[in-house]
Amino acid sequence: MRIATITNWAYGATVCLTIASGVVMILASNADSVERQAVKQRQQFDQITEEVETDAWMLSDLARLYVIKKEPAILDEFQQKESVLKRTEHRMVQLKDAGATSGELMLLGEGLKIIDELQDEQQAALSSVARGEGQQAVDLLFGSAYELEIERAQRQIDHFRQMLDSRIIAEVQAATKTSKTLRTASEIMVGLTALLFLFVLGFILKRRVLRPVVRLSDVVHRLASQDYAVETPNFNQIDEIGDMAQAIHIFRENGLARQRLERERDADWAIRELLARMTQRLQGCENFADVINVAELFAPNVAPGVAGRLYILERDPWQMRCVAEWLDPDGDNHPFDSDACWAIRRGQSHPPVSGEPDIACYHLPPSSADCSLCVPLIAQGEAIGLLSFQNITPDNAPARAYLELMAEALGLALANQRLRDALLEKALFDPLTGLRNRHHLDDTLRTQLAQAMRSSESLSCLMIDIDHFKTINDRYGHEAGDEVIKSVAGIVKRAVRDGGMAFRYGGEEFLALLAGANEDAAFACASEIHREVHTLSIRYGLTEIGPVDVSIGIASYPQHAQSDNLLRAADVALYRAKELGRSRIVSFGMLKAE
């Protein structure tokens, strides 16, 4: 066979292999596009299901808040949110159009059915409030059955997401496998093409083909090992070499895009998991210190390399107070007026567009004003705190949506803690005097007695009664009587100091527990109370109320009584003091001596 014929056959075969290699590379690029489309579909499903889940939880929170506060504004907001949530059927149609399977839609439909049942219970609770049956509404929305229904709805939506994740992962894996297979076929074809080029090079194309083939071969091998950092050669000639270079360039660009999407996807999932874990931890917080600890732990991980501070709005005085900071932010952490922050003024994150010229918040140091972001903590439409981030650069800037989600979770947690503390204070403290009430006495007494028995120490009880209080009420009125009760309560509270605890035992009766105090120490404390009350001067309007006196009964453990009758012994001593003419102190030990 003539050499020219061999060269022509080799050239023709080279052309065919080059075209085939380009086609396979384009197919591999299409497989990568399928993978990206699956990831995009997952994000779309996430957005829709998160909207349904967020609306359902917010509707439940508004219903609970309304049955507690009974404010018309909350009811209006509840009704608005309810109308939004009723568009669930439209959301299901959206999911179907987006590619959701019938099994996934059926599972989500069951969750939405549970949410509809929860709405029925919320409407029943609102009807109970309208009828004046507030307690029944609270029992309905805060009961275990309602909590179980909420958890069932959450599980259904989570199961839907798990099914969705499994399907998307399977599609991504299939697309990845196809892409790898096509890349392997492409590598084989490119290798054959290289061999044929070498053959042709040996005869007539040595100077024209050898150098481009060597360069392309090196690029192909590095791309086969997924080294997409390699630079592809720029061959502009209109022939097989140029086509191959263009196909390799496309393959490399697709590989870089896929790597970038994978990194963004992994980073997105990592932040989502962090936010989900932070939200779970916030739900388990028992006090403000727990919330602050969670913020200090998770904030540097949600926004790596970004320094920041957490502020809480104090009502007295009305200012923002720093309660946590991380990664050494610039400037001091002194309290500042809430009007000094534009995010608090606007009720939105500030500045609205990063990098664009805008007015800086006045509480920020000038050195970090251009690279800072303030996100308000909003709960029930009211700003209760602030997240202030500094040193945000294009390299470390996190998605603003995640920072706002973190602020939303912290705002709800702080609002819940504030509401919880308020309810606890109402349950355990007397609103008139600020002293612990009788409901708190039983648990405290058991704890104090157990401690006294373990440490073999004394525990004394003072039972205090205002003398002739009914006469004061009848003569000066109940408001004047309240002033007398508050004044005497203040004296009792100061007298027991840090070593004891004071309670309002009844209408005009007080009780004090003195840990580690024997009969003599208790008598000294009672004498101080008796003396200060006797010298008390109370004015109600233009009228001076007085004189005011108290009768005090004392009992001590273990000198006078055992653990089960300490209060009774003090009450007996108080009764004896009243029998003896009031305005005196009687110890249970004196009764034994009589």
| Residues identified as active-site | 508
Lay out the sheet containing 500-504: strands in order across.
Answer: 500-504, 509-515, 459-466, 550-557, 585-587
Beta-carbon neighbour count of residue 354 at 10 Å?
Answer: 16
Look at residues 336, 349, 352 and name the one whose alpha carbon lies nearest to residue 408: 349
Q: Is 120 helix (H, G, I), strand (E, B) or coil?
A: helix
Beta-carbon neighbour count of residue 208 at 10 Å?
Answer: 15
φ/ψ (deg, to 5) at 556: -125, 145
Look at residues 343, 273, 352, 358 and name the one whose alpha carbon lies nearest to residue 309: 343
CA 259 to each of CA 185, 206, 228, 256: distance values in angstroms, whole numbers, following the listed order: 21, 37, 9, 5
Encoded amino acid at 513, one letter = L
Encoded amino acid at 249, one letter = H
- Paired tokens of 576: 């004896």
385-293-316 Cα angle (round to 5): 35
Q: How far apart are the first and last CA of the chain?
A: 141
Q: Are the C-beta atoms of 291 and 413 separated by less than 8 Å?
A: yes
Q: Is 515 helix (H, G, I), strand (E, B) or coil?
A: strand
CA 82 to each of CA 56, 61, 87: distance values in angstroms, whole numbers, following the listed order: 9, 12, 9
Encoded amino acid at 263, one letter = R
Beta-carbon neighbour count of residue 139 at 10 Å?
Answer: 15
Give the H/E segment covering residue 28: helix 3-69
Beta-carbon neighbour count of residue 115 at 10 Å?
Answer: 24
Report how far residue 442's alpha carbon sits from residue 90's, in angstroms, rounded to the nearest whole number: 56
Look at residues 132, 122, 143 and name the one whose alpha carbon lies nearest to residue 58: 122
Give me the residues paired with residue 500 across strands: 514
